[in-house]
Copies of this chain bind each other. A is one copy, B any other.
Amino acid sequence: MVSRTLSPRELAEVIGVSQSSVKRWVDAGLIGVSRTAGGHRRILLADAVSFIRERNLDVLRPDLLGLPPRESESGQVIELTADRFYATLYEGQLDAARSMIVGAYLAGTSPAEIWDGAMAPALRRFGELYHHEQTGIFTEHRATALCQEVLAQLRLLMPEVADEAPVAIGAAPEHDPYVLPTLISDVVLTSGGYRTVNLGPNTPTQALEQAVEVYKPAVVWCAMVSPVSSVRLAELTATLSTVAQRAEVVAVGGRAAEAIDWPAPILRCGSMRDLEAALR
């Protein structure tokens, strides 16, 4: 059974301080907390993670957070690099991949930085592998599935966004089958405090319009990898331009968005950091 709350003693063990300090910090409002009817403190996992990230604390006991134990012998934190992450994906090791990503997140790296710095480069290498190596096709498919799972699980550690938070809506255009670009955009915008609605890959322009109509979003994103026919591109551009009159930010990104001249209000992002920066 996975416990979703921590006692002061448990959080103290995780970060290697005394219970007294945790209790004091909680009482000072530095850590989110709720109380049992008897007055005992109960700390939500997401609140603990937020606190650890804000203060740049080391995680000595990841197992108490429901995460796999650290694998390095020396107790040193393994730095997340594109090469190491690529090697892990190439081996198909889900647990190792997850602890690398979660570890980087706990250390304070933003999801956008994690993607741009490690995940995107690693996945790009799989794309190249696709053409050169015998087993390239299957390793690339496996890596994609692993990344999907890791990103979905990462969101469990992120603080919940308020119901009144502005909404961000995104999708990939029709005939674009790639799941990961919309998923990481979703994660980045969630970490930016937006309530996200991800319509996923292969979404007709009309469906995006419907969603915009319903949610009145502050942000709309479109992740484009596969080339788009000129007819559909015109349709998409028109829709996004209309949307831009109401939304604060309308962003497009991905390989297929690069060579295109987007009209003024539409922002083209070359990376997830660009997207993050576009939200002030």
Contacts and interface: CB of A to CB of B under 8 A. Distances in A.
A155 B145 contact: no
Chain A interface residue count: which class?
A: 35 or more
A58 interface: yes
Number of copies of this protein chain within its complex = 2
Nearest to A179: B179
Contacts of A246: none
Contact of A207 (B16, B138, B201): B138
Contacts of A135: 210-211, 213-214
A201 B145 CA distance: 9
Nearest to A172: B141
Contacts of A204: 137
Interface in A149-208: 149, 152-153, 155-157, 160, 171, 177, 179, 182, 186, 197-204, 206-208
26 contacts: A2-B156, A2-B157, A4-B16, A16-B42, A21-B37, A21-B38, A35-B56, A35-B57, A37-B57, A134-B210, A138-B210, A138-B211, A141-B199, A142-B199, A145-B198, A148-B148, A148-B152, A148-B179, A148-B200, A149-B155, A152-B152, A153-B153, A156-B156, A177-B177, A177-B202, A179-B179
Given A4-B16, A37-B51, A134-B210, 20 more contacts: A25-B38, A37-B55, A66-B156, A92-B197, A95-B160, A135-B210, A135-B211, A135-B213, A137-B204, A138-B208, A138-B211, A141-B171, A141-B199, A141-B200, A142-B197, A145-B198, A145-B199, A149-B152, A152-B152, A152-B153
